[in-house]
Amino acid sequence: MTVDERQVDRLRPTPLLLTAAATLVASIVLFVVNYSEQRTHVVWGWIPALLSAVVSGWACRRTAFSPGLDRVTSRVWRSLAVVCAFIVLGVAGDARHYVLDPSASDRDHDVVASIGYGLSIMVLLWTLMRLPIGSRQRRDRLMVRFVLDAATVTVTLGVFSWYFTISVLDAAPVGSVAVGPMLMLAVLGTLGSLAFLKVKVTGLGGLDPIALRLLAGAAAVGALGGALFPLTGNVHPGLSGAMTYIPGTLLFVVLAADRQRRAAHLHVPHRRARPFSVAPYLAVAATDGLLVVVSSSAGGVVLTVALAAVVLTALVVARQINALSENGRLLRRVDANLLELNRYQTQLTHRANHDALTDLANRTLFEQKTQEALDRTGEDAETLSLALIDLDDFKAINDRLGHAVGDAMLVVVADRLREAVRTDDVVARLGGDEFGLLLHGLRSDEATEVLDRIAESLTRPVHALGYDLLVKASIGLAEVWPEASPQELLRRADLAMYAAKERGKGRHAVYDARLEQDQAADAQLGAELRRALDDGDFTLVYQPIVSLPGGEWTSLETLIRWKHPERGFIGPDVFIPIAERTGLIVPLGDWILRTALRQAAEWQERFGAAAPGEIGVNVSARQLREPGFAADVRAALADTGFDPEKLVVEVTETAVFDGGVALDALQNLVTLGVRIALDDFGTGHSSLGLLRTCPADTLKVDKSFVDGIGGRSEEAVIATAMIQITNGLHLQAIAEGVETAEQAETLYRLGYRFAQGYHFSRPLSADQVSEHLAEHRPLTV
């Protein structure tokens, strides 16, 4: 228990406690003053009892509405307040009866008092019977035990009361003592006390154990006072023992209410109940004591037999208590094992349903929560959205910095996702760098606000094992529809996520029907791509790169063409993106590289110095991220015998803008002697910093800057700036898409020495290139 809890737990005088104690003292003083003769008016003797009943009722009501109590505990204290209200009625009835009948005594009550006291006992027993003890089997078991204990105590009280009454009646006038009501009151009060103790031992919910002991004490005081005072027979008419034992009883109630109110916020450790009830054994012991007392007057054989019976009873009780204690130890051991087993089961269940790294829900639990949400959606028409999050370029982080850094980054991302959503939303790690969100009560347009918040949280650098990393995520969102399933909802979100990736990194997309059409078309074309690759339906063409101003060939760029048997020629801008999404770009790119190298090696062998000085091959970002790409290029060079220094790998800015594995692959190619060209420069993530980090020695200025190069256009300004940059960095500049002589002349005037475009030559087949090389082969003498 903490210091604050000890301070709260300490009993302190309160106005209610002081008032209850004062009424008890006042009742005792008035009783003593009027004991020998009535010196005050009769009503003064009942005022402390009446006031104590009011105070105790208010204390119980105040406790019932104290914060921190559970529903059952609050109901118990409300019921006790009702009991006190009926006691007020009973005390008022007694006071009225004693005022109207000066000869009244404890032996009788008027109708009002009998109704008040009777109702108070009935409400008390009803309250105890309504307590939720647990399962029906446990409730029945405890009820049987309580009935047996109550029967044992009742018999014992009956025997003692009978013996004591006989002893008193022998000396009392006939009819001066009413035995039946007194015995009934003693039995009911004792049963009430026993019931409170049984509830305390059971450990019911929020009822404080100390408060229950005090309530049991109140029931016991009331029972003994109500039963024993009338048996004294020495009190004159007009004076009642209830004037003192009622304030004493209710002082215990006020103490119990105060204790319960103070303990409402305390952590009460669970205490294991004894394996047996003490009450029946105390009853047997008391009866044995009475048997010895009664037998002592007979002496001889009767006393000997009585003593032997008492000893045998004690031995049997000791043996039973020992057996019950041993059973209790065994049960505690079993309970401890069960508790440990439950803890292991809880841990195993948690591990089975949660990701070990981030402690988020895993795919299994996510689908389960999604199904539950869909079931509720069907019943309550609740709106539901599901988001799928994929971290961009996570593989590059793992490959460059190691899996430990990648794992640390995933943990930080998981924490930020938790912070970005509401408590009733579900965040899950579905595998690798893929996360799922279940957003309750949000339509897709509302859920996009959450996605914006997530994207904003990920813009802050992620600190992972000493590295500050920038994280981007592509997010797909799907909204629930009638008869949706978790798998289909995930599929739609996945489809939207890939659509977001196609639009660029760090974006989100919402599912719509057009994505299905695009996917179906992509799937169909992807299958045809695979067949075309197997059937050899692809061909390569080569576009010359020329020197300015004369237009002599210096190198060739390799381009791919696909003649579909039904659709005819399909442009690279259509099938290359599909090949990248499906992964077919990897085998297709390998075929392009090897075919181009074989053809270039053949031209070198056939035409010698007249052959193109270099052969350029386009490589996609997907190929650069493939493990061992540089090794595959080295193998292709070795197989064809082509000079690595005459191979130019053309990549776009976007492919290498984020660095990572793609940049490492280019560095490995440069180590082999391969040259690097940045293709379509100026249309992607253009950055001067990229020119410092990317090992490129050639910039190919995009056609869009060449089209309007004449005059004082902005394109001319940009083209001029680019040639100045390349000259300053000692890079080669090639202008793409030159279609007119005017453009060629302007480019030359600006400082460009190399160009490419339809003005010089359209892409040519291998045979057409061979014819051109043969025609322009230098003559030998």
pLDDT tens, position by position, 596-606: 999 999 999 99
201 pLDDT exceeds 60?
Answer: no
pLDDT on residue 172? 47
DSSP element (H, E) containing 297: helix 278-298
Find where tokens 């103790």 sit: 197
- For residues 265 and 536, which has the higher predicted lDDT (pLDDT)? 536
Cβ atoms of residues 506 and 473 within 8 Å? yes
84 to 18, 119, 185: CA distances (angstroms): 18, 10, 17
Give the integer Cα–Cα distance in Å for 115 and 113: 5
* C-alpha torsion sign, points 772, 746, 654, 449: negative
Q: Which of 270, 424, 268 is nearest to 335 (CA)?
A: 270
Q: What is the pLDDT of residues 108-146, one digit of tens each?
A: 667 888 888 788 878 877 877 666 655 555 555 655 665
pLDDT on residue 721? 83
303 to 156, 287, 298, 306, 730: CA distances (angstroms): 20, 15, 7, 5, 126
The whole-chain average pLDDT of the chain stands at 80
3-state secondary structure of 460: coil
184 pLDDT exceeds 70?
Answer: no
On the 0-12 / 13-18 / 19+ scale of CB atoms within 10 A, 644 is: middle
Give the integer Cα–Cα distance in Å for 349 and 703: 60
Length of the chain: 781
Structure tokens at 538: 């692809």
pTM of the model: 0.50
Among 56-60, 396-400, 567-571, 656-660, whose mean pLDDT is lowest?
656-660
147 pLDDT exceeds 70?
Answer: no
348 to 314, 336, 343, 361, 432: CA distances (angstroms): 50, 18, 9, 14, 22
State mean pLDDT over 668-685.
Answer: 81
Cα atoms found within 13 Å of the Cα of residue 110, Cβ hemisphere only: 16
Q: pLDDT band for position 757 (50/70/90)? A: very high
- For residues 727 and 761, which has the higher predicted lDDT (pLDDT)? 761
Percent of the chain exceeding pLDDT 90 equals 25
State mean pLDDT over 757-781.
Answer: 85
pLDDT on residue 690? 66
Q: pLDDT band for position 25 (50/70/90)? A: very high
State mean pLDDT over 619-639.
Answer: 90
pLDDT on residue 2? 47
Structure tokens at 741: 């002589």
161 pLDDT exceeds 80?
Answer: no
593 pLDDT exceeds 90?
Answer: yes
Cis preceding linkage at 549, omega within 30: yes
382 pLDDT exceeds 70?
Answer: no
3 pLDDT exceeds 50?
Answer: no
Q: Which of 143, 47, 138 is nearest to 92 (CA)?
A: 47
pLDDT on residue 687? 54
Structure tokens at 367: 């689908």
Q: 599-608, 649-658, 675-684 — which one is most confidently predicted on average?
A: 599-608
pLDDT on residue 372? 87
Q: Which of 575, 540, 545, 572 is nearest to 558 (CA)?
A: 540
Q: Which of 106, 102, 107, 109 is nearest to 37 (CA)?
A: 102
pLDDT on residue 344? 85
183 pLDDT exceeds 50?
Answer: no
